[in-house]
A and B are shown apart, each in its own frame.
Chain A
Amino acid sequence: MYESNLPQKMPLNFSWILKMAWRDSRKNRSRLFLFISSIILGIAALVAIYSFGDNLNKDIDKQAATLIGADLAVFSNRPLSPKALKLLDSLKTLNPKISKEQSFASMILFPKSQGTRLVNVRALSGSFPYYGDLETTPISASQTFRTRTDALVDKTLMLQFNAKVGDSIKVGKVTFKIAGILNKAPGQTGLSSSVAPAVFIPLQFLEKTGLSQKGSRINYNFYYQFPESTDVNKLAKKLDAPFEKEDVNYDTIATKKENTGKSFGDLTKFLSLVGFIALLLGCIGVASSIHIYVREKINTIAVLRCLGVSSRQAFLIYIVQIVGIGFMGSIIGCILGTLIQQILPIVLKDFLPLEITSHISGFAIFQGLILGVLISLLFALLPLISIRNISPLNTLRISFAETSLFKDKLKWLVYGLILLFITSFARLQLQNWLQTLYFTAGILVAFFILYGIAALVVWLVRRFFPASWSYLWRQGLSNLFRPNNQTVILVVSIGLGTALIGTLFFVQDILISRVSLSSSNNQPNMILFDIQSTQKNAVATLTKKQGLPVIQEVPVITIKLDEINGHTAADAKKDSTLNLSKHVFSREYRTTFRDTLTNSETITAGKWLGHVKDINDTARVSIEEGYAKRFNLNVGDRLVFNVQGLPVPAIVGSLRKVDWSKVQTNFIVLFPKGVIDEAPQFNVLVTRVPNNKKSAEYQQQIVTKFPNVSVIDLALVLSVVDEILDKISFVIRFMAGFSIITGLIVLIASVMISKYQRIQESVLLRTLGASRKQIFTITSLEYFFLGAISALTGLIIALAGSWALAAFSFETAFKPDLLLIFGLFTTITSLTVFIGLFNSRGIVNRPPLEVLRKDV
């Protein structure tokens, strides 16, 4: 043997690989492009979101001043302490412009229509906002209302009560003329105006309204504009500690910028994760299509191997093709994403407190390109590594045997890389590794469950399909199982989109019916609050006079927690080992005192004592168990409450479970009788109104006679919940749409890939005497089965997910809306049939021979 004859190792010859990749793609470019188009939408979604995020950050930078409207805004939810007032007085040495505001929830009455509504009254003095405007119609109203008994009324209220500029509203005891429609105020979003529409009045008339009495829940806000030379951030740093000590909060342009950026950063990260799921779906579609592409290329690869091409060279030829097409797909995705980005500010307008520009973001495009190429390559690698195993012997006889996962270690490596990629991507979007782990594991589990259910449904349909049905039906079904079919992946991708949208609808339904349910069966449906002690009996009398029951009358006292087992907020801040949250000390608690528990409360630990033994006895308070668990409070803990300035010691006597879903007053902290009974308080009255007419009449009476009393009407809550859910679900539907459309693109690619097989089947059937109509029916039925199985898979998951949410999260019964299920099923199935038939039209309509000559 003369091994010297062994040829020298051939160089990789990359330029030849490039040339071959180009040549080999000649007749496949449109098909390759179709495969890769599955990721275009995912890339487009991500580029749109990245661009949006990029522009949002820039816009927050530019518009931060208009978000707060001042250089410094100081807030307190109680009258400022003398020390705090002194601190604010000290700022006057810096020659600022100052505006004051008191804001609170109150009822207003539209005398013309006699309509009433709970609104956010903002009584303002000074020329706030210093940056940005109160956008009003007419424009002049934003200035003229400040000195007269005029008001600016939120545009949603104006629409709701069909009010016009020049009409009047009654706020408390004072009637204001509507000087203008309030279109936008600094920091205000569409969502905030749905929940609490604003009404601006001049501060000077607040007292006359009678709404600013002691015990009213008023927020005190102060807005400062300093001369340009003032270093506001330095000033804020100096004020931080004393403000915290006096329980005063503040915002500067810098803190507002940071907080807004952070919260919208979270939004864009959430949206990008939703977009990423669409991209992953597309990638699975790509992997599935490339798998079939490689099978079709076996012969070409085998010939090349015969001619001396190494396995590495053959592998690289196709890698180059995928990278090239992936790059092109990514470019198109980036262009599409940049276009979609123009729509995002419209989609999200209700959540945004600022104007978003739609500049092209180079960084977002760069990210999209890298992501597109990388992810298409990673997922295409799975089928492409099989190329290494294609034997030249296939030129003599086709015998493509796929290596099993266990034999080919490289496949494990690729799976590992995909997992690493998903994890890294998620980590970039999420706050920490735990969230990343949950997301990645969630994605994997979701795909496995979806895949499992899809495979199960496909199997069940196949297994139990009645053999007695006509040939056309049976053929339509068996077409789904032709060799190289992509049925399961199609079911997974279309099913996932259906599941997302289905879950969304069901959850919306659950929430709405949960609120509606709580109002049925003679349950209370109206709550009156802010009733002064002196008004308590009169309000109850008026209620009874109206023929309405007084279901509950509860005194409410606002308190704070100063100490836990001798430790104060300052101790908690200094010593993290105490394991005490700052939040426990900084928040206000609304509490009541009772000697008995209500039917929505159950003691779970300790013992409830409804009375103190004597005036010197320490109160045994009851804490809601969830809150106690969250903040590490246990039975026996010694607490000191601050009741309107007075320290009141207490011991955690019991923990109790509270059913928050009932329309009644529920409390985190509950006092026994005899401790805080004499503290300043307001009262709450719970009643039930039988219908909307009675509700309107009763509210008018209350607002007219007790203008400081606010009313929460369950009908209003329902409409607000509905409106908010509508706004949120629109965004989620928009994002879920990417998954559905990706699924349909995978479907189009799949129809195209199997076109040759379809032609052969069609020709065979035509030869055997099948009419064009029969072939059309078979094709339609094939897509009907595909769409129906996908929709069914998605609906099963949506129903299971919604049931789990209803049972474990909302703790309510889940009764799915059959009409909704039917609607979703029909829509998804029809869409699949339409897309399938549209792309198969050439096969059915043209004569078989012509088709064979043209397409084969």
Chain B
Amino acid sequence: MAKKELQLQAPAAPYVPVKEDFVLLTKRDIHTDTNFASQSYWKGVFTHFFKNRRAVVGLVIITVILLLALFGPLMNGFGYRDIVQYRNEKNKRVVAKGISPQIPAIHRLLTGEEPEGNFADYTFLFGTDDLGRDLWTRTWYGARVSLLIAFVTIIIDMIIGMSYGLISGYFGGAVDQVMQRFVEIANSVPRLVIVSVLAIFMPKGMGLVIVALLLTEWIGMSKIARAEMLKIKEQEYVLASRTLGARNGHIIFKEILPNTIGPIITQVMFSIPTAIFTEAFLSFVGVGIVLPQCSVGTLIEDGFNNITTLPYQILPPIIVLALLMLGFNFIGDGLREALAPKLEDM
């Protein structure tokens, strides 16, 4: 029917579209109201984060250290526990003990002469330690171990703390009372005491550091998760979900958890440097990483033991530790500001 009517009314030849009629709009042609443009939450967080100069500096520092920790030990032929040595023409072992940082290429460039002496044509960016191990490799290997411990423990802590806090805050009442009393007691035990008791039960090493961190760091996370839960659980969408018959588990982990993730990630960023700090401290004291493994803490200890003879040895691990702390703190600050921007910063 419709077809017939159209045919009847058509006075002129039907318009045939040409290719030029279909032009993609360029950015210039799209007019959006930039003053009131809506932006998704996370996009806003990202733009805000990257506008913060400190946060970007932190991100760059951490990225560089992560890359070096991953690939640094592969950049020269030395292993982290290899003693650099060769046999000379008299078949005598020559060990590269305590060589200060040297780059033969730069030496050649500056003086135009070939460097002389044993190991003169080896490149040691950070020098070697008292046993003849390359410090560049050891530093980045140690950074890798420290970062690995920090990441693993903090992620597990995040899962434990988050679940604990969310459940405690969601149910409230007697459950909350009991769970919070437990947190209060757990929070009153100094970390040192936990470590010392653990040292009775466990052999020294990476395991002890990880368990010590697991036992202490979840508390902060659980507090933040609980506070967020108390803020959110009264909102309408939670009520709506419950009215529709959602179970508690669904409401807690599928509905509310995604909305608490921001502050928790911020807390993670602040917990990672704490974990690195604690690891360095425990290793320095002598209950952490055991030889021949190394971490930032054991490297600082090695450096300290040789400080009167090889003073340059202590510098790389200290600088790496300080930069890690700095980077993660900057990122954490940036995230916190980006997640809850004050009106004046907008």
Q: Is B truly associated with A?
A: no
B residues touching A (Cβ–Cβ < 8 Å)? none
A residues touching B (Cβ–Cβ < 8 Å)? none
